[in-house]
Amino acid sequence: MELDKLIEKIAEEVYRKISKENNGSTNVRPMDNNDLASIIDHTLLKPESTEADIKRVCKEAIEYRFKSVCVNTHYVPLVSRLLSGSSVLTCGVVGFPLGASTTRAKVDETSDAIKNGANEIDMVINIGALKSGDWNIVKRDIEGVVNMARNRAIVKVILETSLLNDEEKIRACTIAKMAGADFVKTSTGFNSGGATVEDIKLMREVVGPSMGVKASGGVRDTETAKAMVAAGATRIGTSSGISIVKGTKAKAGTY
């Protein structure tokens, strides 16, 4: 069966299943604040971020025992060096924030990030190709990054859910799983919408229990973070990690 027909068939089956069940039930145990720290990607992706900002974020990540520090690839070498000897991982974003660069550019950026110490890669899906129904292009794009990262770094695929309808989200998750990605992720944080409980439930339903789901964009407090986990998220991307762990309110304008 041709890839586009196969993806359409799988997506339609999943959509029917979700529409029929739609009970929102989960089997995820509640997490306390310390547990939340262990799944937080402490994030700093603003273009104006300075070296001093990066050093601060790395220090915070080590202190609070976050899962990773997520940065633009320019800062991957610095982050990798600062986190050396700690349990905190280095995460670099690829094709960020638009996802519209060529597959070769994404593969090269992935290779460079891994050589510089990245343990994880958060790549932006080709959103335009997805919305055009060019499933082969979307799949090859993800596969290129996955193949480059294989056995060296895990790959999370950013869907930018605020730009997609439910059927497109289902197709995007289906393609990411077929391409061998380790996670699907909601958002870059650079568009109008971020993670929602409904999107996390949908994504978890599509990818099943064996693949990671990352909630990112707008997760700024403990209550929201726990709601995302209850819906099926296994990773949280945020610049408000300290507020989440402490149970305090994050500053306005944080990711």
Q: Annotated active-site positions, please?
A: 122, 185, 214
CA 115 – CA 149 distance, rounded (Å): 10
CA distance 225 to 245: 10
Q: Which run of H or of E encompasses 94?
A: strand 89-94
CA distance 209 to 204: 7
Query: Is the distance from CB of 203 to CB of 169 less than 8 angstroms?
Result: yes
DSSP label at residue 14 = H
Closest CA to 74 of 50, 40, 97: 50
With H, G, I as helix, E, B as strand and everything else as coil, classify residue 215: strand
Q: Calculate the alpha carbon distances from 246 to 8, 36, 119, 207, 241 in Å.
A: 44, 10, 27, 31, 9
Task: Say how far apart CA 195 and CA 40 lie, in whole Å.
Answer: 14
